Chains A and B, each alone.
Chain A
Amino acid sequence: MAESASPQGPAFESPVVRSYPASRAGDLTLSDESAVTKWLVRAGAEGPTADLLGAPFGTSLVAPGGALVLGSRPGEWIVVGTASDVAAAVAGLDGIEEQEFCSALDWTQGRALFRVTGTSAARMLEKVCGLDWSDHMTPDGAVVSASVALVTCDIARNDRDGVRSYLIFCDRSFGQYLFDALIDAGNEFGLSVAAASHSHSAA
């Protein structure tokens, strides 16, 4: 069921290849988390898979093993984390296909992933995305699909230690462009580029 296209061998190459200056004044950070393992699971919006993953459309939760499960669309989930955490989260899918049609594929290679963290993260996103980032409409744990700087993205609010934080997924080929667009949007708030917070688990 849960097969992986992740290779073993050479180091993972991020879509972000440019280098950026060290940190600046503000508390806003942007990190490239593209190497994090990402799986896409699809099944019925309601059913055993939905029950297993437990994150309805528009929401997210941390699975028992530690992976983050995002209800990205009705009947579609993105599972993110270390390779072992993700494997644990999707392990339960084995056998579910006896009950319903379900598929899972490793999306690590195809999706860039960035994290924006800081008190002004929402203000920064307002410059590149037309959604309402208020706590009412996009609380911690919310998941949404939207255009970010004209690139279709999945976005999850995933606060870190009480500070606003957003995970932004996009097609890998847009990765460098979007990373630069986010830096441009964040300059006003003193954005700095930080090291990835997740360990690399795809290579």
Chain B
Amino acid sequence: MTMSRQGVQPTEVIDRAAKLRFRWNGKRFSGFEGDTIASALAAAGEQIFSRSMKYHRPRGILTADYWDPNLMVQVGDDPNVRAGHRLLESGMDVRSQNAWPSLNRDIKAANSLLGRFLTAGFYYKTFMRPQWLWPTYERVLATFAPGGKIDLDTPHAYHDKRYTHPDVVVAGAGPAGIEAALAASSAGASVMLVSHEHSVGGHLRYSSAAADQAALAELRTALDASDVEVLTDSTVTGRYEDNWLGIVQRNHPIAVERLIKARAKTLVAAPGLIERPYVFEGNDRPGVITSGAARRLVNLWGVKPGERAVVFSANAEGDAAVADLERVGTEIAAVIDGRTGGSISSTRGSSRAVDAVVADGASIGADLLVVAAGWTAPTSLLNMAGDRPVYDPAAARFFPSDPPSNVLATGGLAGDAGLDGLRQHGAATGRLAAARAAAVRHRLQSRTARALPVDGDEPAWAPDERAPLGRDPHPELYRADTHGMVDMSEDISSKDLVAAAHEGYDSVELAKRYTTATMGPSQGKLETVNTVAAIAEARGETISQVGTTVWRPPYAPLTLGALAGRMFEPVRVSSIHPWHEANNVSIIQAGQWLRPDHYGDPAAEVRNVRENVGLIDVTPLGKLDLRGPDVPKLLSLLYVNKWMKLGVGRVRYGMMCAEDGVVLDDGVTGRLGEDHYMMSTTSSGAGGVWEWVENWLQTERPDWQVHVTPVTTAYASINVAGPKSRELMSGVCEGVDLDAEAFPYMTVREATVAGVAGCFMWRIGFTGELSFELHVPAGHGLHVWEALMEAGSDLGVGPFGLEGQRVMRLEKGHFIVGQDTDGLTLGPSTGLGSLIKLDKDDFAGKPELAWAADRSLPMVVAIQPDDPDVVPEEAAQIVRGDTNEILGRITSSRYSPTLNRSICLGQVEADLAAGGTKVTVLLESGERIGATVIDHHAHFDPAGERLRG
């Protein structure tokens, strides 16, 4: 096989004025713009492009397109690139895969000598025993793994995603597909035409017939003038329920790949036909190519595939290949006609010879064997739509059976005709697709509030009145009288498949999985029908009787990057965030929120709050605006305590339990006006509580007059905490008396703060210090924060973060829902059992809580390690003595800079909950330490004097 570049071809797609230089296995090569990697290498005379997966047999061009199993290469750090499809670029560093030390001298080719032992199921049978050796097997086998190399340091490329809702998607841009797209567009449909290739035209692109080229030019001109959106180098990878389509768009100007999720009202499947290899001994030898490969090489890239060819032809494509080869000077040594019983039995030859051995044993010297043995109908999209295509032995391929009515087939997939016939069928299909899409659109518009109103009834579902395409007779040519490769991606021969069938794997689905035939990068496009034929032959049955495997998505392999698309990771920040970022903050992500964890020294932040005054940004605290006369009833329903008599300006703590009595959330709610309340929730519970409230209102109490609006980030929330907080606030507040008696603990006031009206303040605090929790209209949050920092500069004001707050709330003994409680913690276990008012008529969780009231439950308690310097890990187990019997766990622990000792909260069995009880804590290290349960939650200021200040 001696390939070379020829003179200019009228149909070529290369720009001979644009020379591109690249490297192939370290050596310098050149090609032209428009070349694929493979065509450029072929033009330079390269014959071997890869080594096969198992036997490391040398492999050359087979189909010269996307599906070619022999053209997988590494480009830079990009493995498994399809050299038959990827366009050449200047500076490409292309390397062969699966060969060592070199492509031409691959040591692992010794595997070929073991071929008769490496039969189907070899791995399953051989490496099962002894089981303990599997790790070794695994390591060794990994060195034989095919494919390219992944560089884990490669930056994540930009992958894009797009959603679209065209009326009609046409998958395949051959003459029928283009006509379908044009006709649908002319009928008023929005149309997306998807071409797997780099340009539209299908087989017309590499046809040298003048009529074909004229038609192609006409179709392209019409497309340019139409509203059809054309996607080239793109593939419809999957069809899902209700025509939800995955389309991968490769080499988009802004992204390596873009995944398009299209909801098409109708899908037109027009993928054409894929040429099927023929199975015979030596059919994978370099120099054996399909007729389509020969025609593409000649007509698209001006490459002469060989000097002397034998052509095995069973159809017009093979005949056309003969003409093309002769035109570029290839000597035709023989044409073996498969339609009249001719056959190829095997090949012989050296590195540059492919002598064809015909049925009578005669050998014909050549360096190229072109095979045109038939077609595979890529029915994948129809299968994905639920169709089960049927085999027609007279035409030697599968045809659509009964796809859903919003999926229409045209082109070669649907049948055979001359070019005019295909175009007419495509156009009729496009009109039908548009008519049906119009009916779907009418239905959608009439059902969608925002849509343009439609008049009249939904149009009738257009009947399919297309004249069916014919079916050209074709001989059933699958295997010669010798065995050869069926799946070149996986190195599966017909002999392997026959053996598998004889072993009992005679169902096509079983044989597929047992042998891995059709499971390689070609995804069955070249192999499926030959696989079925081999099994049918082994079973003594017909292809129809055996049936096919089910084609599932993806139609063509796509990368994980394409599936991942753009990495959307929403984050939330408060309006004070810029100040944090400018002030040495250490950020912690809590859910979607970016929150200040600390500003360098959380212990110092704690001390400053205890001694002076500190500010913390607590904007993520959930806030629900409640309005309406029935709010008290709602609060009484959702909280375990009573709410009917909360006065205006008062604030009350509440605990919320789910219907099973488990603690759901907690927080305070204040009454801002006669029918106006503000509920606060935990930061993490904000969304869940809103849904919980709405669920009750919309499903259980729709008659109640309550409107709930989440206003969490309508306010920037700042907790001003510390003994000097009142002094600080007095410098910035207007319109409110901050005196302890006028504005006592657990009350709320509206005020103007730092010139910002509409702020409200709660006299509450999580830290245990005198605190003012400010809620400032968010668009002024930063201003108020900065004003507080400035006003408090002589009071020692400083920021504190979540870590400092966690320490102080633990010193104070405030539990956190979800940390100190879990999915089984019932209300009374929190130690707030007195809050639960079982004498209320009804509230969420009441039956469970009534049941729990008489029972011994695990309890949340404060725990003091005996060694003040030991801080048990959170989740450390509390065990019975020296045993491993679990009696509880530490739920929160820190070292207290205020008390200079470790402090904990934990959950323990009821009989350990009394103050003074000694418990044993099992540390992660295995050490056991003593600790004592104390009789109240607060390690610090249990009387709450500082809080009430």
Contacts and interface: CB of A to CB of B under 8 A. Distances in A.
Q: Do A and B come from one complex?
A: yes
A110 B758 contact: no
A149 B161 CA distance: 11
A171 B780 contact: no
Residue with the greatest number of chain B CB neighbours at <10 A, chosen from A5, A101, A142, A203: A5
Given A126-B164, A136-B452, A177 B572 contact: yes
A12 B715 CA distance: 13
A135 B619 CA distance: 40
Interface in B433-456: 441, 444-445, 448-452
A143 B450 contact: yes
Residue with the greatest number of chain B CB neighbours at <10 A, chosen from A42, A130, A172, A176: A172
Given A7-B780, A137-B451, A172-B713, A126 B162 contact: yes
A136 B454 CA distance: 9
Interface stretch (B1-9, B211-219, B526-534, B703-711): B703-711
Interface string A133-177: 111111100111000011100000000000000000001111011
Contact of B570 (A17, A129, A150, A172): A150
B452 A137 contact: yes
Given A10-B780, A136-B451, A151 B163 contact: no
B571 A134 contact: no
Contact of B779 (A150, A173, A203): A203
Contacts of A129: 163
B759 interface: yes
Interface string B529-563: 00000000000000000000000000000000000
A171 B592 CA distance: 13
A42 B707 contact: yes
A84 interface: no
Interface string B556-578: 00000000001011111111011
Interface string B154-165: 000000111111
A107 B441 CA distance: 36
Contacts of B570: 149-151, 174, 177-178
Given A127-B162, A173-B572, A7 B713 contact: no
B780 A110 contact: no
B782 interface: yes
B165 A103 contact: no
Contact of B449 (A5, A59, A176): A59
Contacts of A132: 165, 263, 444
B781 interface: yes
Nearest to A129: B163
B705 A173 contact: no
B459 interface: no
A13 B162 contact: no
A177 B589 CA distance: 14
B448 A137 contact: yes
A5 B714 CA distance: 9
Nearest to B166: A134
A127 B570 CA distance: 15
B254 A188 contact: yes
B619 A173 contact: yes
B364 interface: no
A174 B755 contact: no
Given A42-B707, A136-B445, A109 B714 contact: yes
Contacts of B779: 12-14, 34-35, 108-109, 202-203
A197 interface: no
A9 B450 CA distance: 39
A199 interface: no
Interface string B239-282: 00000000000000110000001010000000000000000000
A5 B673 CA distance: 13
Interface string B82-101: 00000000000000000000
Residue with the greatest number of chain A CB neighbours at <10 A, chosen from B164, B253, B263, B705: B164
A123 to B, nearest CB: 8
Contacts, number: 158
Nearest to A125: B163
Interface string B749-787: 000101111110000000000000000011111110000
B627 interface: yes
Contacts of A108: 779
B452 A7 contact: no
A8 B734 CA distance: 13
Contact of B571 (A8, A42, A144, A177): A177
A184 B568 CA distance: 11
Contacts of B569: 150
B712 interface: yes
A191 B450 CA distance: 27
Given A126-B164, A142-B451, A149-B570, A6 B777 contact: yes
Interface residues of B, number: 59
B185 to A, nearest CB: 14
A171 B572 contact: yes
B628 interface: yes
B628 A13 contact: no
Given A126-B162, A143-B450, A174 B568 contact: no
Interface in B616-646: 619-620, 625, 627-629
A105 interface: yes
Contacts of B619: 173
B743 interface: no
Given A59-B450, A109-B714, A132-B263, A9 B756 contact: yes
B39 interface: no
Contact of B780 (A12, A133, A136, A144): A12
Contact of A187 (B254, B705, B712): B254
A152 to B, nearest CB: 10
Nearest to B262: A126
Contact of A135 (B452, B577, B629): B452
A109 B778 contact: yes
Nearest to A171: B713
A11 B160 CA distance: 38
Contacts of B451: 58, 136-139, 142
Given A7-B756, A109-B779, A150-B570, A13 B713 contact: no
A12 B707 CA distance: 27
Nearest to A60: B450
B573 A58 contact: no
A40 interface: yes
B573 A176 contact: yes
B593 interface: yes
Contacts of B593: 173
B612 interface: no
A13 B781 CA distance: 8
5 contacts: A9-B755, A13-B781, A127-B163, A137-B451, A173-B713
The 8 closest A-B pairs by CB, nearest first: A110-B714, A58-B449, A58-B450, A173-B572, A132-B165, A142-B450, A9-B755, A173-B713
